[in-house]
Amino acid sequence: MQIQFSKYHGAGNDFILVDNRNQEYTLDQELIAKLCERRYGIGADGLMILENSESYDFNMRYYNSDGNEGSMCGNGGRCIVAFAKDLEIIANITEFTAVDGLHKAKINSSGINTYDISLNMNDVSNIKEEDNIFFLDTGSPHHIEFVDDISKVDVYNKGKQIRYSDKYKANNGTNVNFIEATASVLKIRTYERGVEDETHACGTGATAAAIAFALKNKEYNKEVILEALGGILRLNFDFNNNIFTNIVLSGPTKLVFKGKY
């Protein structure tokens, strides 16, 4: 079986995209992990399958680089919108389904193999805070920890320790984010569950970080700019009755290359 694919990244968070509307591909856990392997495969933080949807433009299925089906991926959601645009499935506005339900997205601008895309995320509530550490679910579970100097954090080892800690066993572990607040941006670094390593960006992590920052500083009505290793992401939201609504994750996407495997 030869698989046609495209590779995209959103702020350095990279993905393999497969169009399976004709149901011609059967991808199991072992094959997906092999495709995502950086030395012997294509290499990616995850893989997404675009499928037909009865009621919406398409359905998104997301797999972590270990080959297991994952929870919602924000940058993945933005990249699959770019993929759908390049496949001429959509124009500049879309509605699609994912593991956590319905999402809306908009293409704000485009260039050569690039788009700036805004993705609506699900409402967020039930946020836990203890000793300046936040835990919340933005489609995926996230531990948010504020630090003074993010450059000094051992993201891999500390992130792995927290991800597998007893505290988060009931959640099958968690993604771990370290945040340094500066005057202009939130610097963010993330250890991703399922990738089991630091990634260059994480959309649901950026969303969680922006919400935690808003709660911590009681600043709810301004855009939050986040600086990940791979680029800039933007977050907007409303806050009423202890619920974050109208959450929009925005940032760049890029088609890296197409191929067959």
Domain boundaries, the chain: 4-120+253-260, 128-251
DSSP secondary structure of 63-121:
EETTSSB-S--HHHHHHHHHHHHHTTS-SSEEEEEETTEEEEEEEEEEETTEEEEEEEE
Segment 105-128, tens digit of pLDDT: 999 999 999 999 999 999 999 999
What tokens were used for 250? 């925005």
What tokens were used for 217? 């500083």
Asked if 36 is an active-site residue, the reply is: no
Same topology, domains 4-120+253-260 and 128-251? Answer is yes
Segment 222-245, tens digit of pLDDT: 899 999 999 999 999 999 999 999
> What integer pLDDT is reported at residue 132 of this predicted model?
86
Segment 171-221, tens digit of pLDDT: 889 999 999 999 899 999 999 999 999 999 999 999 999 999 999 998 887
> What integer pLDDT is reported at residue 170 of this predicted model?
85
How far is the C-alpha of 146 from the C-alpha of 215, rounded, in Å? 13
From the candidates 202, 206, 215, 248, give the one annotated as an active-site residue.
202
Segment 29-82, tens digit of pLDDT: 999 999 999 999 999 999 999 999 999 999 999 999 999 999 999 999 999 999
State the sign of the Cα–Cα–Cα–Cα dihedral 153, 154, 158, 160: positive
At CA 7, angle to CA 115 and CA 100, rounded to 5? Answer: 75
Supply the pTM of this predicted model: 0.94
Options 3.90.1150.10, 2.20.25.570, 3.20.10.10, 3.10.310.10; CATH of 4-120+253-260: 3.10.310.10
From the candidates 11, 73, 121, 233, give the one annotated as an active-site residue.
73
What tokens were used for 6? 């495209």
Determine the straight-line distance between the first and last CA of the chain, rounded to whole angstroms. Answer: 8
Cβ atoms of 222 and 92 within 8 Å: the answer is no
CATH 3.40.50.300 fits domain 128-251: no
Q: Which residue has the higher pLDDT, 102 or 218?
A: 102
